[in-house]
Amino acid sequence: MRLTERKRRIVVGDIHGELEGFIEIIRDAGLIDDRDHWSGRDDILIQTGDVIDRGPHSMEAFDLLKRLQKEAAVVRGEVIRLCGNHELMLLQNDFSLADFSYPESFVDMLKDEIARGDVRASYTDGERLYTHAGLRSVIREILVNEMRSSKPKLEESEIDLFLLSDRINQLFIDSIKKADFEHPIFHVDSIRGGDDPVGGIFWCDFRSISPSMGAWKIPQIFGHTQTRKNGVNTAKGLKLVDVDAGMCYVYGGKRVWLEITPEGHLLQHSKARSKWTTKRLS
């Protein structure tokens, strides 16, 4: 979606097998009808990854997103499915958190979806970058240098969000094919139990990206770090937005989704005591 094609965008955080909560959220957003089929016309649904694990219906939630992606495309809508660290762990042959049957078969299917571009690492609408956990400025600089190295005539000022997102996605696809996860986008920092100073786009924690001096230079929306409240977390004005309120009951069962209007306004929708409320972020 180029800036001249402004559409309504709905951003939903980590699902973690919480099928009922996810359906409740996207139905409130007007994206599905009472039979759970796409009714969002040309709206764009962006889901930040971690569809699986923790909750009881990982495969059902994954299959629903997969089906809605196909249904939305018929009417010029889009369902953007991002890869989270829980999906990434399976791709790295780490099944320690898999709580569903036959995770090996799931990996084979997921690899096919990644190769087709149905599941990706990054997305942009031209205004913001969307990843699972956020992009630190140090890793962004690495990506920019890689792009300029492969195309020496490319000026840094020419690298917009579309080129940056394309670079991330191609790197992601190539890494999955080669089973090579050495690139910094896959790094795990100390906050999340790793030994790298800066977390990559699947593992970065809001507590580390929010005070970062350079991350705010790219407006970003991501999930991964549960706010555990009936709302999103923001930093640097609205340059950094964490939409993962904790949908799964393990994290409090919060019902929160973010709407970006065609005019560019950010609206937070949240449910408390059986009542949905809307708040414009500013």
Would you state the torsion angle of the CA atoms of residues 187, 192, 194, 196, taken in this order, to the nearest 10 degrees?
50
Identify the residue whose tokens are 């939630």: 61
For 157-203, the pLDDT digits (tens) are 999 999 999 999 999 999 999 999 999 999 999 999 999 999 999 99
Low-confidence stretches of the chain (pLDDT beneath 50): 1, 4
pLDDT of res. 214 = 87
User: For residue 4, what pLDDT is reported?
Assistant: 42
Evaluated on CA atoms 222, 61, 274, 276, the torsion sign reads: positive
| Rounded distance between C-alpha atoms, residue 92 and residue 140, angstroms | 23
Query: Can you list the domains of the chain with their CATH numbers?
Result: 9-280 (3.60.21.10)
pLDDT attached to residue 2: 52
